[in-house]
Amino acid sequence: MNWILYALLSRFFWAADNIVDKFIVGRYIKDSYVLTLIGGIAPLFIAVIIFFTSRLNWIGLAPISILILAGAIQIIAVFAFYQALLKEEVSRVIPLFQLTPIFVFILSFIFLKEMLTIKQSLGFILILLGGVFISVKKIKGLFTLRAAFWWMMLSSFIYAIQAVIGKAFYNIYPFVIVTFYLSIGMFIPTFLLLLFSKQLRTKFTKELSSLPTKGWFTVVLGIVFVAFAYFTSFLAFSTGLVSIISVLRGFQSVFVLIFSIALSLWLPKILKEELVGKVLLTKILAISIMLIGLYFIT
């Protein structure tokens, strides 16, 4: 199942970008909205490469408009995520991303008639639980109906809609066409915000103009990671089960943990991850549960 490999690769690249973002925030760029705008540039690279290397047939105004809109609504999910961060600590916000696979599971069943086998369903549940446990610090109060919870509900639901729309079009049209217009849609909010918001444009240019050479290298590296993350996820969606691909996002926390421990051991000046015995044991248990779930899926 190549699509499972692509889905895991996507999480690998997203985790790598998380580490790079942590380094950028710690050393160079403090504004999370500027980071979001930089991340929005990555899909443009995908679109440009496809434009110059592939043949793009006209598939009609309506399908193209829907694909561009599906890409563009991601900005709502990002905005809702940052609103949640403003209202709650990050350790309580990140685990709520595990709501996305649940929404995808429901929407894919209703609109795509996507059915999971008993083993796949068991794997889905195990990976979902493992993903929550590996990313959470305290279960108590996690699903309390605070403002942050509802913002994360919105963010997760938007991501789920985007995933299901993308999968529906991958079932009908060629990979390069769907990927091209989705990528254009993802870039459009960044373009419009920089074009019409003087405040954001000033922040953006100020942050980038003050970057040293190492800072520029780090930012470009982050953009490359994001581009690869999007592209491998598109490959997964084009051939795989969207509900399974969505739940595999839990492995992003696994990769982040691995990267953090490796950097703590070999490059402690860049990143230091402190894990006490109880926390480490919990994360190892969570990873074991997720690997068992992955076994059932494959």
Local confidence band at 214 (pLDDT 50, 70, 90 cut-offs): confident
- Mean pLDDT of the 181-206 span: 93
**Residue 273's pLDDT is what?**
55
Give the pLDDT confidence of 219-262 residue by residue, as tens digits: 899 999 999 999 999 999 999 999 999 999 888 888 888 887 78
pLDDT above 90 (res 136) = no
More confident residue, 272 or 183: 183
**Residue 137's pLDDT is what?**
61
pLDDT above 60 (res 145) = no
Model confidence, pTM = 0.88
**Residue 276's pLDDT is what?**
60
Rounded CA gap, 122 and 100, in Å? 17
* Whether 161 contacts 280, CB under 8 Å: no
**Residue 17's pLDDT is what?**
87
Domains of the chain, residue spans: 2-297
Rounded CA gap, 241 and 298, in Å? 12
pLDDT above 60 (res 213) = yes
Residue with tokens 């899909």: 43
- Mean pLDDT of the 120-144 span: 76
Tell me the DSSP string of 142-165: TT---HHHHHHHHHHHHHHHHHHH
**Residue 19's pLDDT is what?**
83
Residue with tokens 């529906």: 168
Give the pLDDT confidence of 63-105 residue by residue, as tens digits: 999 999 999 998 888 888 877 776 766 556 767 778 899 999 9
Local confidence band at 114 (pLDDT 50, 70, 90 cut-offs): very high
**Residue 227's pLDDT is what?**
94
pLDDT above 60 (res 270) = no
